A and B are shown apart, each in its own frame.
Chain A
Amino acid sequence: MSKIGVFICHCGTNISSTVDVEELTKYAKQLNQVVVSKNYKYMCSENGAKLIRDSIKKHNLTSIVIAACSPRMHEHTFRKVAEEAGLNPFNVEIANIREQCSWVHDDMKSATEKAEALIRAAVAKAQLLEPLKKTKISVTPKAMVIGGGIAGIQASLNLAEEGFQVYLVEKEPSIGGRMAQLDKTFPTLDCSSCILTPKMMEVLNHPKIELLTYSEIIDVNGTIGNYKVKIRKKPRYIDTDKCTGCGECANACRMKNRIPNEFDMKLGKRSAVYIPFPQAIPLKYTIDPNNCLMLTRGKCGDKPACKEACTQNAIDFNQKEENIEKEVGAIIVATGYDLMDPSAIHEYGYTKSKDIITTLELERLINSSGPTSGEILRPSDQKKPRSITFILCVGSRDETQHPWCCRIGCMTALKHVYLLKEKLGEDVEINICYTDIRSYGKGYEEFYRKIRGITKTNFFRGRPSEVRNMQDHLKIDIFDTMTNKLFEIKTDMVVLVPALLPRSDTAELAKKLHISQSIDGFLLEAHPKLRPMDTSTDGIFIAGCCQGPKDIQDTVSHASGAAAQATVLLSKKELEIEPLIAVVNEDTCSGCGICVSVCSYNAIELIKKEKNGKEVLQAKVNEALCKGCGLCSSACPSGSIQQQGFKDKQLLPMIDEIL
């Protein structure tokens, strides 16, 4: 016979304005095995906790039911309260009468009836709760950071400085990411590589950071504190121990200046053996297997030119890809963003004219290590443009493309106005077609004002309907809603500011890591306000634009936050894990293996066992891997695998009570 206490929360007026809490308290009191029933304005407050603790002690309660908000919110709080009063923390059952009742109904009478049903069900389960024991696991004090952009660099350095071993995995031949492609940063106009390369050097030289460039994640197994990550190291066809980065190979390459350089947004050309940019880290060359004559045709003249040129004998066409495995306690995902391909909005003619470019392409044109060595030349005829027009929100705030704001487009365009005026003279005409200018950050509004004051800078509040290619120039019609007039703009170049998207392979990576994406495809944080660096999977954190569009300062803050969250975990020697996991009834399990096939976490295996003198197969749950999702228990045909705290015999009476 259990002794149950029911504690009903008003949640200010969140619950009590739609649910009659006094009535509910009286109702709960007369339920089977309930010995005490109380209500309080804020059950999660210290006074509320005291009320619960005192009642547990006074009435020798064996289980408690908390009728309040979602268990996602405060289950942990109330388990702690129970534990403090000497009750097993798993003898706590939550009846969610806020999200699932008061918030979604407005009729007091029927809402109270529903709350009664929810409490009735919770009490039925509370009668059958069993005390559970938490298990302890050790923590591997190492971290993996996926993505070597500014977010990944920042997080790695923070963790390494804390003394933890870090593996920084980057799929490109060099770290640096998007920030390395930028010329200057807003609003301070710092040279992007001047502030980035010292950090890249620090990563390279840090004794606690192992750089795994040109590498990809294949598979992730394990759980918080102990992850096993399989990584594919792609062959560079260069012995990195021998390569000095002298560049003689690239100079000699027969494909020199023939392959579009991805780093320059394909505006510049590179060799088949290349480094993406001069400040690449590590400064080791890579042979592009899709364009190298030797690797595609097996023949490159009489002898591969790069091999001839290399004095260090570093070229190795026999290199094979290598799979390695690393064990870490925490993982930080920092995979960054892609720009939307603006050809999706065909009326802006991105594919129709070479002179219609994106902001990242302009960034490479402005950059002194870019394809034009920093000279602004119109791509079609290599002449200096006298008029440049920006179109903002291309594919952003657009229900036919991407509904969100890219958060950096306005400031990027304003920055470019400044840089273009600096390079081409104040005389160059710059037009900006915008829907709103969002200059929300520190020093941003001041920067916007400064740009407005530059002569021959025209702002049009509106979106052009189309960009027309008139052969020697481009033509735009735009209705300016500030003057209520339709303008025709004839311009030499058009710069589109495209939407920011998660990297195209985000879904694939999310699946490997068992983390979720939000509806926009970015990685989903555990809570949008309070846990923006955590994911729904413990021990995996997110940093930077993989979570959503961010500028550099927000990215750096986010990454340091993610590193701090990981540090909290890694600095623990041992972790307590929740016992809400699957257990197998060995007497009835027939070893059919259905549970093994449905488990998303590879937490169940079939093992051979001796039973009545015969060798039989049986399911076995790995406690550290099981997440308690319940898939196995709903799939098991004989009910032999059950989830602790959610057993059939505990759940079915709840349903009976509600029906």
Chain B
Amino acid sequence: MSITDLTSMAGSQTQLRIEINKRLSNLQNETSDYCFQCAKCTSGCEAHKLLELEPHKIVALLKKGLIDEMVNSDIIWTCIGCYKCWERCPQKVAPVQILYTLKNMAVANGKQIPGKYTSMLQSILSIGLIQDIQEAPTYDNKTKKRDALGLPPLSKPTDPQKFQMNLTKIAVEKI
């Protein structure tokens, strides 16, 4: 007995799927098995409009055990981590956490990280932020300075070297 995707001839990676679900159960409320494909996640996905990420499809592929297909795909790197999919899911499934897990697996497998990610990583290591944001976009696409919105300036690590060391340690442990 087996399940095969006739387009790619890939088989279902049942064991890996169980392992991923186990890893996810520490992070999310419910396993992806509860997903009934209502696609509320994709309806609200910020990465879908520009980058065609379909979180509900990620969940569907995980449920079918087609994991390598996702780990090797560039699409997993398009998630912007807004967490809307997890917050609004009626079945408490967390596509965003699945994507983090897949990204971690890709890194562990030695897969090439998209270029932008490397620069973001550099930025995080030096200032703790993806980028040095001092301006914030509003709903109607205007850009406003943080202080104009009454927001405090973003804080930065006081001891960059120590910060970098600890962050690297956590990252290695996670993967």
- A interface with B by C-beta (< 8 Å): 347, 393, 397-401, 435-436, 461-466, 477-481, 484, 486
Contact yes or no, B90 A393, CB < 8 A: yes
Given A479-B54, A479-B56: A486 touches B43 (CB 8 Å cut-off): yes
Also in contact, A486 and B42, with CB within 8 A (given A435-B36, A479-B48):
yes
Rounded to whole angstroms, the CA-CA distance of A435 and B54 in the bound complex is: 17
Residues of chain B within 8 A of A436, CB atoms compared: 36
25 sampled A-B residue pairs with Cβ under 8 A: A347-B88, A397-B90, A398-B91, A399-B34, A399-B90, A399-B92, A400-B90, A435-B36, A436-B36, A461-B39, A462-B40, A463-B40, A463-B90, A464-B40, A465-B40, A465-B41, A465-B43, A465-B45, A477-B43, A479-B39, A479-B45, A479-B48, A481-B39, A484-B54, A484-B57
Q: A477 vs B41: C-alpha distance in the bound complex, in angstroms? A: 11
Residue in B closest to A348 when the chains form the complex, CB atoms: B88
CB atoms of A465 and B30 under 8 A apart: no
Q: Which residues of B contact A477 (CB under 8 A)?
A: 43-44
B84 adjacent to chain A (CB < 8 Å): yes
Residue pair A465, B56 in contact (C-beta under 8 Å): no
* Contact among A347, A463, A486 with B38 in the assembled complex (CB-CB below 8 Å): A463
Q: Is B37 an interface residue (CB 8 A)?
A: yes
Nearest Cβ distance between residue B50 and chain A, in whole angstroms?
11
Instruction: State whether the Cβ of B111 lies closer than 8 Å to any Cβ in chain A.
Output: no
B49: chain A residues within 8 A (beta carbon):
486
Sorted nearest first, the 8 A-B pairs with minimum C-beta distance are A465-B44, A463-B40, A398-B90, A479-B42, A462-B39, A465-B43, A479-B39, A463-B38
Interface size class of B (residues with CB under 8 A): 20 to 34
CB-CB < 8 A to B37: which residues of A?
481
Most buried by A among B29, B38, B49: B38
Whether the pair B92, A462 counts as a contact (CB closer than 8 A) is no
Taking CB atoms, residues of chain B closer than 8 Å to A393 are: 38, 90
Give the distance in Å from the alpha carbon of A347 to the alpha carbon of B89 in the complex.
Answer: 12
Q: Which B residues form the contact surface with A (CB < 8 A)?
A: 29-30, 34, 36-45, 48-49, 54, 56-57, 84, 88-92
- Considering residues B34, B37, B44, which has the most beta carbons from chain A within 10 angstroms of its beta carbon? B44
Whether A464 and B90, one on each chain, are in contact in the complex, defined by CB atoms closer than 8 angstroms, is: no
Task: Give me 20 other A-B pairs in contact (C-beta within 8 A), A398-B90, A463-B90, A465-B41 excluded.
Answer: A347-B88, A397-B90, A399-B29, A399-B90, A399-B92, A400-B90, A462-B43, A463-B43, A464-B40, A464-B44, A465-B44, A465-B88, A466-B88, A477-B44, A479-B43, A479-B48, A479-B54, A479-B56, A481-B38, A486-B49
Closest chain-A Cβ to B103's Cβ sits at a distance in Å of 22
- How many Å lie between the Cα of A317 and that of B77 in the bound state? 72
Question: Whose C-beta in chain A lies nearest to the C-beta of B91?
Answer: A399
- Smallest Cβ distance from B54 to chain A, in angstroms? 7
| Bound CA span A56–B44, Å | 72
Contact A463 B39, CB 8 Å, known A479-B54, A481-B56: yes
Question: Nearest Cβ distance between residue B18 and chain A, in whole angstroms?
Answer: 22
> Using Cβ atoms and an 8 Å threshold, which residues of chain B touch A481?
37-39, 56
Compute how far the CA of A44 lies from the CA of B88 in the bound complex, rounded to whole angstroms: 51
Residues of A within 8 A of B45 (CB): 465, 479
Q: Which of A461, A477, A480 has the most CB of B within 10 A?
A: A477
* Interchain CA distance A486-B48 in the complex, whole Å: 8
**Chain B residues positioned under 8 Å from A479 (CB to CB):** 39, 42-43, 45, 48, 54, 56
**Chain A's nearest CB lies how many Å from the CB of B115?**
27
Query: How far apart are B14's CB and chain A's nearest CB, in angstroms?
Result: 24
- B contact residues around A484 at 8 Å (CB): 54, 57
Task: Kindly state the separation between the CA atoms of A478 and B56 in the bound complex, as whole angstroms.
Answer: 12
CB-CB under 8 A for A400 and B92, given A435-B36, A481-B56 = yes
Q: Is the CB of B90 within 8 A of A478?
A: no
